[in-house]
């Protein structure tokens, strides 16, 4: 398969990362979950004194002390912050509640977008996020934009969290998803938006396998056009 950039954007809990991971394995491409990068910065901010809330100015001043590292293992992507693995911590509810507020800070976005662009320089990469097709890689060869109703997404995320031992009620998960949708899509810098040339897929009534097959057939079509 010719090396290319595949951007998978869309709303929270639409299955972006499961799909991206499977595609990356099949294509032997690198996979980057950019949401995990925003979560790692949020975790860092919450650890700064006074702990438990985000102090924007302090965070901006400390951005150059943050070293993120990603490694793809058989069990998924491992994220470390200044040498410490924080895979589990970035999925906890305190991080999930604050991440959209951190992701709207332009200075944070500038640092992470530059890192993401550097990771894609050799192509052969699949990135999932909110602004990959619009801002990070506007020239990506394949762009997908996934949507689904908030209720379908909350049900999905609630089940996933229970599997991971994170106990939060369905109502709280739904509330968080709706709040994040609003903040992510109305922020000034790089709001969540479908790129004009992205393929939009409403996954509300589709299985993950059906979505995968749909995406896969577009990739094959694109590949045959460019080779």
Contact between 59 and 48 (Cβ < 8 Å) = yes
Shortest distance, position 96 Cβ to ligand DC, whole Å: 8
Q: What is the rounded distance in angstroms from the CA atom of residue 107 to the CA atom of residue 139?
A: 23
Give the C-alpha separation, 124 to 104, whole Å.
28
- Map residues 116-155 to x or -, x wherever contact with ligand DC holds by CB under 6 A: -------------xxxx-----------------------
Strand partners, 5: 125
Q: Cα dihedral sign for 59, 64, 69, 70?
A: positive
**161 counts as binding ligand DC under rule CB under 6 A:** no
Does position 176 interact with ligand DC (CB under 6 A)? The reply is no
Task: Please list every residue from 91 through 120 that binds ligand DC, using CB under 6 A.
Answer: 99-100, 103
Residues in 11-50 that interact with ligand DC by CB under 6 A = 12, 34-35, 38-39
Nearest to ligand DC of 22, 39 (CB atom): 39
Q: Residue 101, exposed/middle/buried by CB under 10 A (0-12, 13-18, 19+)?
A: middle
Q: How far is the CB of 11 from ligand DC (least distance, A)?
A: 9
For the bound state, the minimum distance from the C-beta of residue 67 to ligand DC, rounded and expressed in Å, comes to: 19
Measured from the CB of residue 43, what is the shortest distance to ligand DC in angstroms? 11
Answer yes or no whether residue 158 interacts with ligand DC by CB under 6 A.
Answer: no
In the complex, which residues of this chain contact ligand DC (CB under 6 A)? 12, 34-35, 38-39, 99-100, 103, 129-132, 180, 184
């Amino acid at each position: 398969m010719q090396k290319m950039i595949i951007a998978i954007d869309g709303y929270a809990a639409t299955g972006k990362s499961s799909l991206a991971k499977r595609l990356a394995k099949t294509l032997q491409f690198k996979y980057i979950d950019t949401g995990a990068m925003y979560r790692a910065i949020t975790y860092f901010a919450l650890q700064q004194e006074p702990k438990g809330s985000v102090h924007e100015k302090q965070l901006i001043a400390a951005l150059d002390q943050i070293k993120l590292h990603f490694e793809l293992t058989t069990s998924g992507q491992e994220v470390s912050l200044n040498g410490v693995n924080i895979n589990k911590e970035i999925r906890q509810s305190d991080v999930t509640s604050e991440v959209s507020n951190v992701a709207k800070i332009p200075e944070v976005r500038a640092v992470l977008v530059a890192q993401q662009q550097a990771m894609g320089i050799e192509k052969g990469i699949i990135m999932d996020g909110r602004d990959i097709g619009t801002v990070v890689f506007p020239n990506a060869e394949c762009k997908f934009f996934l949507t689904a109703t908030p209720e379908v997404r909350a049900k999905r995320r609630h089940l996933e969290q229970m599997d991971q031992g994170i106990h939060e009620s369905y109502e709280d998960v739904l509330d968080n998803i709706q709040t994040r949708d609003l903040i992510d899509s109305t922020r000034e810098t790089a709001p969540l938006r479908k790129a004009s040339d992205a393929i939009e897929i409403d996954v509300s009534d589709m299985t993950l396998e059906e979505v995968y097959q749909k995406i896969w057939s577009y990739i094959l079509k694109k590949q045959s056009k460019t080779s």
